[in-house]
Amino acid sequence: MLSDTEIATLQDRLFQLRCAAEDVVTAADDGADARELRRMATELAAAAHDLEQLR
């Protein structure tokens, strides 16, 4: 069971994750090079991994 504070924190982190994913899509649409897209995708994967660690 999560407290109200924990739920709010989780919602914030999920919002940040969604925004990061949208940033990757926008960068790809805008013609970002592979190195930049890889950097962004790596950050996105790390953020998702961090969320998995919540218990």
For residue 4 the two structure tokens come to 């109200």
For the chain, what is the domain count? 1
Cα–Cα distance, 37 to 40 (Å, whole number) = 5
- Average pLDDT (19-40) is 97
| Residues above pLDDT 70, as percent of the chain | 98
Tell me which residue of 45, 40, 54, 42 sits closest to 12, measured CA to CA. Answer: 54
Domain range for 45 is: 4-52
Instruction: State the average pLDDT for the chain.
Output: 93
User: What is the pTM assigned to this prediction?
Assistant: 0.84
pLDDT of res. 2? 83
Q: Is the pLDDT assigned to residue 53 strictly greater than 90?
A: no
Check residues 54 and 12 and name the one with the higher pLDDT: 12
Q: Rounded CA gap, 55 and 41, in Å?
A: 24
Does the pLDDT of residue 20 top 70, yes or no? yes
